[in-house]
Chains A and B, each alone.
Chain A
Amino acid sequence: MGAQGQDLTINGTAVTLSVDGDTSLLSVLRDRMDLKGSRIGCTEGYCGACTVLVDGKPVQSCNTPVWSVAGKDVTTIEAAERHPVLSEVQKVFVDLQAAQCGYCTNGIMMTLAGLLGQSPRPDRAHILAHLDERHLCRCGVHVRVLKAIDQLLAQSGGATA
Chain B
Amino acid sequence: MWNFSCPLIVYGDNSLDYLAQVKGKKAFIVTDKNILKLGLIKPVTDKLDEAKIQWEIFDDVEPEPSLTTIKKGGVAVGKYQPDWVIGIGGGSCMDAAKAIILLLARPELEPESLSVLEEFNFRTKARLMAIPTTSGTGSEATWAIVLTDTKDNRKLGLGSTECMPDVAILDPVMVMGMPPQITADTGMDVICHAIEGYTSVWGTSMTLGPGLIATRLTLEYLARAYKDGGDLEARKEMMNAATMGGMSFGNSMAGLAHSTGHALGAIFHVPHGRAVGLFLPYTMEYLINESAETTAKYAEIARYCRVASSGSDKECALALVARIRALAGELGQPLSVKDCGVGQAEYEKEIPRLIERALNEVMTMTVTRIPGEEDLGRIFKYAYEGKSIDF
Q: Do A and B come from the same complex?
A: no
- Please list the residues of chain B having a beta carbon within 8 angstroms of any beta carbon in chain A: none
